[in-house]
Amino acid sequence: MQDDDPWDHDPDRAKNPPTLVAKTRTYAGAADKVRQAGRARERAALAKQHELDAHARAIELHERAAELQERLGHHDRAANARAHAQHARELHAQALAEKSEQER
């Protein structure tokens, strides 16, 4: 048995010793929680990457729209599209900072 076994530190152990089944369930439950937490982190990272990809696509599309509007002579619409692209850049930067925070 390991030295860091939580059952060894139970003050009521002498009165009510754990069965092997109870110890096995406790360790199996802890292992399940660790696996679930790992899967949750993977799902969160994937969702964040999808968010970053969406912001990058939005930036590209708004810039293309601005160029098209400029060529068509719609300077006000081009300026509006550039403002949308700038907002998408800000959202991308925020999502990137959140991703860095998640990875710590």
41-57 per-position pLDDT tens digit: 899 999 999 999 999 99
Q: Is residue 9 part of a domain?
A: no
Sign of CA dihedral 70, 74, 75, 80: negative
Q: Is residue 40 part of a domain?
A: yes
97 in any annotated domain:
yes
Its pTM stands at 0.67
Structural domain including 25 reads 19-102
Rg of the Cα atoms in the chain:
27
Among 102, 86, 104, which residue's Cα sits nearest to residue 49? 102
In a domain, residue 30? The reply is: yes
Please count the structural domains in the chain.
1
* Window from 2-16, 44-58, 86-100 with minimum mean pLDDT: 2-16
How do residues 69-84 score in pLDDT, each as one tens digit? 999 999 999 999 999 9
Any domain includes 4: no
